[in-house]
């Protein structure tokens, strides 16, 4: 099958593009021809994806932001000349660009949907169109949100994202990260891996950690993600120099390995948080707010713990339990790892997407 994957992103740095590339690799391993298209950015952006060409993937760039008729016509010719049988659009910008570029062509578009936000009016109209016969949702909660907004249930297939088990391993060491931030090897560390934006729930997390530090005076807090840390100066004040903002990191597995508990404190807008998949793959105990699709994989007492969104007291209590009851934490870690191996493999995801593509290819 000739498959075209189209990303809203300009390079492979964030979840949607990372998942697109992982899917492309797995589909290629299954014998399909896969081409990757990115949103046109700077020359530096284009150079950043050069390793994909070295892997054997044809890569192209088209301007997707705004109404660029020249770019749309170029993309249309690209699809026709490439003989692609299906286009998989990742996120709304890529979906709109592909949809209007390919109107009138007999090439189906599969839409990727990764959050429980209700689609905006134009996006909903596109998703309802026969031109988009299938939608791949990253969680059942995402499917439910789409159905609630008027999308036919038969259009929506749930396909969980995947994890690189060769990178997010159980034997990764966090010693170097602890040393970098002067965290004693025996100090308890709780952490988050998320951009420093409102919906990720950092104030809730930090308030919980401040309360937790009253019980555990040697607690350290590790926050991995791009953004302005000064926004949270009030919440971090009680923690002093035991609150560590790392900024964007390439060594996320090592950062997670330095944590005793991995937290997702998001308050809205998730699909199924990728950090949870990765932490489970590493056999890390996890606590997640019960938002969107996270309760589908975080089963309290078996694969992790759930907390009501926006409740720092409940989060503090669960963190204390996991840090103090090591045998309990270890049991949850093992359960999370088993579930991750079962649900989040690349080949399992590619198999489901392959079946979905075959349904829509004419």
Whether 336 and 323 share a structural domain: yes
CA dihedral angle for residue 103, residue 104, residue 109, residue 115, rounded to 10 degrees = 30
Rounded CA separation 98/111 (Å): 10
Rounded CA separation 163/146 (Å): 25
Whether 145 and 182 share a structural domain: no
Domain total of the chain: 2
Whether 328 and 350 share a structural domain: no
Predicted local distance difference test score (pLDDT) of residue 13: 75
Q: What is the pLDDT of residues 59-84, one digit of tens each?
A: 999 999 888 899 999 999 999 999 99
Whether 72 and 45 share a structural domain: yes
Whether 180 and 327 share a structural domain: yes
> How far are the Cα atoms of 47, 187, 343 from residue 162, in angstroms, in the given order?
25, 32, 8
- Hunting for tokens 């720092």 — which residue is that? 312
CA neighbor of 22 nearest in space, from 159, 119, 181, 131? 159
Whether 51 and 198 share a structural domain: no
Q: At residue 50, does pLDDT exceed 90?
A: no
Rounded average pLDDT over 182-196: 96
Read off the CATH number of the domain in which 228 is found: 3.40.50.2000
Task: Kindly give the residue spans of alpha helices, DSSP state H, lying in 118-185.
Answer: 121-128, 140-148, 175-180
Rounded CA separation 71/79 (Å): 12
125 occurs within a structural domain: yes
Backbone Cα Rg of the chain: 21
Q: What is the pLDDT of residues 276-288, one digit of tens each?
A: 999 999 999 999 9
| Domain range for 239 | 175-343
Q: Taking each helix axis from N to C terminus, what angle separates 15-29 and 346-360, rounded to the nearest 10 degrees?
A: 80
pTM above 0.85, yes or no: yes
Which residues are CB-neighbours of 8 under 8 A, at least 6 positions away?
16, 17, 39, 64, 90, 91, 92, 93, 94
**102, 129 contact by CB (below 8 A):** no
**101, 72 contact by CB (below 8 A):** yes
Continuous segment of H or E residues that includes residue 111: strand 109-113
45 occurs within a structural domain: yes
Rounded CA separation 195/202 (Å): 9
119 DSSP assignment: P
Neighbours of 357 (CB within 10 A): 20
232 occurs within a structural domain: yes
170 occurs within a structural domain: no
167 occurs within a structural domain: no
For 245, the 3-state DSSP assignment is strand
113: left (phi over 0), alpha (psi -120 to 50) or beta: beta
The strand pairing partners of 112, in sequence order, are: 90, 136
For 197, the 3-state DSSP assignment is coil
Whether 89 and 207 share a structural domain: no
Residue 350's pLDDT band, with cuts at 50, 70 and 90, is very high
Predicted local distance difference test score (pLDDT) of residue 11: 83
CA neighbor of 194 nearest in space, from 101, 87, 269, 281? 269
The strand pairing partners of 59, in sequence order, are: 36
Rounded CA separation 81/92 (Å): 24
Whether 138 and 242 share a structural domain: no
Pairing verdict, β 33-39 and 2-7: parallel
Q: How many helices and strands in the chain, by DSSP H and E?
A: 15, 13
Whether 201 and 139 share a structural domain: no
Q: Where are the beta strands (DSSP E) in 114-225?
A: 134-137, 156-158, 189-193, 220-224
Q: At residue 15, does pLDDT exceed 90?
A: no
322 occurs within a structural domain: yes
Whether 232 and 332 share a structural domain: yes
Rounded CA separation 205/231 (Å): 14
Q: What is the pLDDT of residues 139-168, one digit of tens each?
A: 999 999 999 999 999 999 999 999 999 999
Q: At residue 188, does pLDDT exceed 90?
A: yes
Q: At residue 14, does pLDDT exceed 80?
A: no
Mean predicted lDDT score pLDDT of the chain:
95
For 110, the 3-state DSSP assignment is strand
Predicted local distance difference test score (pLDDT) of residue 43: 87
> What does the longest C-alpha to C-alpha distance in the chain come to?
65
Whether 100 and 69 share a structural domain: yes
331 occurs within a structural domain: yes
Tokens of 29: 């391993």
169 occurs within a structural domain: no
Whether 248 and 355 share a structural domain: no
């Amino acid at each position: 099958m000739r498959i075209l994957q189209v990303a809203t992103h300009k390079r492979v740095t964030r979840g949607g593009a990372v998942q697109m590339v992982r899917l492309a690799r797995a589909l290629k391993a299954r014998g399909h021809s896969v081409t990757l298209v990115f949103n046109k950015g700077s020359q530096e952006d284009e150079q950043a994806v050069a390793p994909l060409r070295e892997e054997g993937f044809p890569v192209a760039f088209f301007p997707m932001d705004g109404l660029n008729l020249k770019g749309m016509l170029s993309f249309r010719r690209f699809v026709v000349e490439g003989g692609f049988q299906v286009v998989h659009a990742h996120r709304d910008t890529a979906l709109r660009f592909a949809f209007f570029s390919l109107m009138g062509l007999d090439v189906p578009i599969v839409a990727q949907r990764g959050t429980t936000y209700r689609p905006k009016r134009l996006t909903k109209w596109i998703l309802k169109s026969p031109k988009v016969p299938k939608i791949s949702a990253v969680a059942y909660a995402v499917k439910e949100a789409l159905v609630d907004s008027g999308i036919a249930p038969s259009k929506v297939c749930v396909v969980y994202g995947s994890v690189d088990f060769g990178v997010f391993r159980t034997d990764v060491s966090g010693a170097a990260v602890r040393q970098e931030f002067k965290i004693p090897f025996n100090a308890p560390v709780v952490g988050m891996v998320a951009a420093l934006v409102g919906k990720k729930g950092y104030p809730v997390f930090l308030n919980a950690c401040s309360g937790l530090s009253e019980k555990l005076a040697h607690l350290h807090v590790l926050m991995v993600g791009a953004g302005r840390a000064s926004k949270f100066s009030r919440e971090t004040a009680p923690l002093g120099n035991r609150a560590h903002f790392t900024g964007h990191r390439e060594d996320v597995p090592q950062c997670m390995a330095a944590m005793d508990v991995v937290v997702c404190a998001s308050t809205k807008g998730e699909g199924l948080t990728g950090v949870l998949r990765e932490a489970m793959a590493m056999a890390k105990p996890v606590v997640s707010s019960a938002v969107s699709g996270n309760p589908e994989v975080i089963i309290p007492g078996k694969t992790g713990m759930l907390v009501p969104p926006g409740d720092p007291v409940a989060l503090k209590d669960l963190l204390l339990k996991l840090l103090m009851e090591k045998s309990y934490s270890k049991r949850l870690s093992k359960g999370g790892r088993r579930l991750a191996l079962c649900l989040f493999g690349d080949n399992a995801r590619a198999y489901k997407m392959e079946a979905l593509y075959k349904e829509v290819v004419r």
